[in-house]
Amino acid sequence: MRWRSSLSPLWALSALTPSVRADYSLEVAYQGDTFFNGWNFYGNRDNLTNGAVYYVAESESSDVAYTNSAGNVIIKVDNETTIASGTTNALRNSVRITTKDTYDIGSLFVMDALHVPYGCATWPAFWVKAKEWPSGGELDIYESVNMQQNQIALHTVTGCFASNETTNSTATGSMTYNNCAYNVAANHGCTFEDSRNSSFGEGLAAVGGGLYVAELASDGISVWWFPRSQVPLDLRAVNATPDPRSWSLPTAYYPSSSCNINQYFAPQQITINIALCGSWAGEPGVFSPSCGTGSCADYVLDPSHFDEAYFEIASVRVYSGGLNTRSSSGVAAASGVIGAIGGSDSATSRGERAWSVGRVGALAVVVGMLGVGVLWTGF
């Protein structure tokens, strides 16, 4: 809803009562036979992380990207082609897809996965990033290499941090690095690890999978992993109206107090991909010794190594209706009024959010000589 008004200053200011945000509502669900209609295939070798894969074009994807008999989407690495020993720059077919649409702050991203890729040399990810990177930010919701646990990360330009005050009262994961800047520590990102066996690899498949969920809101970014048996009631149906305020603590939490979400994050595209080897999974000390003494490049030659290197996905969903105050971020003249009403970028505590009645959409107040103009968005 969007409306403008030219009211007398006193009347307008008295009308600035915060409105309760409605629960999220479904914007789009990618699933079943039409899943791939909303995605672009990369169609090139992995020239981004120097991985040992060729990301197929849509026209050549039928063996590695399809819907199975259960109606679930399979995204996989080729596990049939044997590559001759000694082949230079051997590349195995894989998939990297990115949504055609972008989704702004105030979005909730959900992947319902029954199986995720695992095994030596694999580097799968479910993530979102802006078209302009790194200025528009990146959020890695699920990412794992070889046999390691799930890692959640933000990657941004300089100035964004994970809060050093994040504790087990605000997130259940373990913070492993707090500087999100892409040009620090070889683009490590500010990271949380989820050590639960159910959140990655073979352990995820054993519990029937579950939901990876990320909330991109003006007051902070939160990421959850829900094993199948622990999925909240308001997330079980695709057309649900989820309310993150009623859920358990997230695995990772990035409050806007240490990373201004409006400043560091632009509208995001969703990407799902499976890399092999490359600048993380294939590094010495990462691939070896846990995956043997040979090289990652040699490991890729044998197709049987990748029998478990696939996503099985029931749906990828995006819900909208969350907190988005991007339109008020530049209204410096009225910042005092906005801050008093609840439209500032400062984050409330996790506890306050859990018990709050609702969060206010964006409110900007522009004071002029003839009156007060009011702009409401985001409800």
Helix, strand, or coil (residue 270): strand
Beta-bridge partner residues of 215? 108, 222
Structure tokens at 338: 């906005």
Q: In terms of DSSP bridges, do strands 252-255 and 220-227 run parallel, antiparallel, or are they unpaired?
A: antiparallel
DSSP letter at 197 equals: G
Close Cβ partners of 175 (under 8 Å, ≥ 6 residues apart): 162, 166, 190, 191, 192, 252
Predicted pLDDT of residue 355: 30
Q: What are the two backbone dihedrals, phi and then psi, of residue 340, each rounded to the nearest 5 degrees?
A: -70, -25
10-residue stretch averages of pLDDT, the chain, 379 residues long: 34 36 86 97 96 97 98 98 88 98 98 97 97 98 92 98 86 96 96 95 96 97 98 96 96 97 98 96 87 90 97 98 68 31 33 34 33 34
DSSP string, 99-138: ESS-B-SSEEEEEEEEE---STTEEEEEEEEESSTTTT-E
Predicted pLDDT of residue 294: 86
What CA–CA distance (Å, rounded) separates 147 from 124? 11
Structure tokens at 365: 């107040």
Domains of the chain listed by start with CATH number: 30-320 (2.60.120.200)
How far does Cα 213 stand from its chain's mean position? 8
| Model pTM score | 0.82
C-beta of residue 100 within 8 angstroms of C-beta of residue 40: yes
**Closest to 257 measured CA to CA, from 183, 330, 331, 161:** 161
Predicted pLDDT of residue 119: 95
Predicted pLDDT of residue 327: 54
| Catalytic (active-site) positions | 138, 143
C-beta of residue 95 within 8 angstroms of C-beta of residue 274: yes
C-alpha gyration radius of the chain = 22
Helix, strand, or coil (residue 237): coil
Predicted pLDDT of residue 95: 98
Q: Which amino acid is present at 134?
A: P
Predicted pLDDT of residue 22: 52
**Closest to 64 measured CA to CA, from 112, 97, 31:** 97
Predicted pLDDT of residue 54: 98
What CA–CA distance (Å, rounded) separates 162 from 153? 9
Sign of CA dihedral 45, 145, 160, 251: positive
